[in-house]
Amino acid sequence: MTTFTYADAIRQAISEEMDANSDVFMIGEDIGESGGVFGVSKTLWEKHGHHQMWDTPISETAVVGLAVGAAMMGARPVAEIMFSDFSMLAMDQIVNQAAKLHYMTGGQLSVPLVIRMVTGTGGSTAAQHSQSLEGMFTGVPGLKVLAPSTPEDAKGLLRAAIQDPDPVIFFEHKLLYGGRGGPAGDVVPVDPIRFGVGRIHREGTDVTIVSYLRTLHHALAAAEELAEEGISAEVWDPRTLVPFDRTGLAASIKKTGRLVIAHEAPVRGGFGAEIAAWASSECFGDLKAPVLRIGAQNAPIPYAPVLENTVLPTQDSIANEVRAFMQRAR
């Protein structure tokens, strides 16, 4: 039986792109012999050596800033931010430098850079190691923002991101990695995936649930539950938030007439707000009900499991909210 985890996917994508192009290198904290907190860079150090693996001190601004500077000189760096929460320490280099250099210099040079960020809850990882901050990056012109939900998408999108000429923020959900420190899985070939093409994970006719990263899997489980009650939910994964597959989503809304968006970030100001606003204005004629947004409560992520499960959307909370929505929306 083939084993191919999300962590395998990330590792293989980087390794294959490093093999193809010596200008690809990885830079980040503890990515060397230790293999990284989540074991993602395990074996990369042995295989690609120091020349393509730059294990840094704990210096997030420098991790990103050096990657940007090297990219300006023609490299294709893959920077790792161990927890997306730590990206707040590197925001100047991401937002003021990487995102803007191509534009504000009149296109003189590009910044072909991938910043991988480990996002979302890890289960009681609490307020500073659990956030879903994608909405902070989707609002910055010049960045592309990816959020893969499956191993295949993670590999194909990461390969495409490394080949892309623009700065790309690549979110990886820590609970999707599929086991820490286990043996490396099988090599599964996956072609680079074009950005801006969503994916239907489950066909349905009554309601479209848009979701990504780990919440997508909660949404799929909730959809199975709802199916037994006669509610047919289509689960649609944008895979890339910027660019966003509006055509694909519009087609799904046309079919179901109802839209629910579920993500782990708080509802207020989350990327779901952007999707909802767009759909409400551009798909108004196809909508039979107001758009429903499901996300975290407006609170930091708490430590206690009982509190964390209250703050974050779960399979149960998604099923309950969609059930109530369908009763209102019939």
Annotated active-site positions, please? Answer: 129
Q: Identify whether the C-beta of residue 211 lies closer than 8 Å to the C-beta of residue 262.
A: yes
The 8-class DSSP code of residue 126 comes to: -
Q: Identify whether the C-beta of residue 29 lies closer than 8 Å to the C-beta of residue 58.
A: yes
**Quick one: which of 2, 73, 189, 306 contacts other proteins (CB under 8 A)?**
73
Residue 299 binding other proteins, by CB under 8 A? no
Compute CA distances 174 → 78, 82, 117, 292, whole Å.
18, 10, 10, 26
* Measured distance CA(24)–CA(53) in Å, rounded: 9
For other proteins, the closer of residues 107 and 183 by Cβ is: 107
Can you spell out the DSSP letters for 170-235? EEEEGGGS--SSPPP----------TT--EEEE--SSEEEEE-HHHHHHHHHHHHHHHHTT--EEE
Residue 195 binding other proteins, by CB under 8 A? yes
Site string for other proteins, 134-153 (x = CB under 8 A): -------xx-x---------
Q: Of 3-11, 60-68, 80-88, 315-323, which part binds other proteins (CB under 8 A)?
A: 60-68
Residue 298 binding other proteins, by CB under 8 A? no
40 Cβ partners below 8 Å, 6+ apart?
7, 10, 11, 80, 172, 177
For other proteins, the closer of residues 62 and 126 by Cβ is: 62
Structure tokens at 242: 């910027």
Structure tokens at 161: 């991101």
Residue 71 binding other proteins, by CB under 8 A? yes
For other proteins, the closer of residues 94 and 226 by Cβ is: 94
* Measured distance CA(80)–CA(7) in Å, rounded: 14
Q: Which amino acid is at 11?
A: R
Residue 189 binding other proteins, by CB under 8 A? no
Angle at 83 between CA 240 and CA 211, to 5 degrees: 30
Q: How many CB atoms lie within 10 A of CB 251?
A: 16
**Quick one: which of 21, 43, 62, 269 contacts other proteins (CB under 8 A)?**
62
* Measured distance CA(122)–CA(277) in Å, rounded: 30
Compute CA distances 220 → 24, 120, 273, 295, 297, whole Å.
36, 18, 21, 15, 21
CB of 27 to other proteins, least distance (A): 8
Q: Of 32-40, 72-80, 292-300, 307-315, which part binds other proteins (CB under 8 A)?
A: 72-80
Q: Which residues 20-49 are close enough to bind other proteins by CB under 8 A? A: 25
The 8-class DSSP code of residue 184 comes to: P
Q: Of 56-64, 176-184, 219-227, 294-302, which part binds other proteins (CB under 8 A)?
A: 56-64
Site string for other proteins, 153-172 (x = CB under 8 A): -----------xxx------
**Quick one: which of 180, 202, 246, 255 contacts other proteins (CB under 8 A)?**
246
Residue 282 binding other proteins, by CB under 8 A? no
Residue 249 binding other proteins, by CB under 8 A? no
Residue 61 binding other proteins, by CB under 8 A? yes
Site string for other proteins, 223-242 (x = CB under 8 A): -------------------x
**Quick one: which of 103, 205, 224, 288 contacts other proteins (CB under 8 A)?**
103
28 class by beta-carbon count within 10 Å (0-12 exposed, 13-18 middle, 19+ buried): buried
Q: Which residue has 């991938």 as its token pair?
A: 114
CB of 231 to other proteins, least distance (A): 31
Q: Identify whether the C-beta of residue 89 lies closer than 8 Å to the C-beta of residue 60.
A: yes
For other proteins, the closer of residues 182 and 196 by Cβ is: 196
Q: What are the residues binding other proteins (CB under 8 A)?
A: 25, 51, 54, 56-57, 59, 61-62, 64-75, 77, 92-93, 96-97, 101-110, 112, 141-142, 144, 164-166, 195-196, 242-244, 246
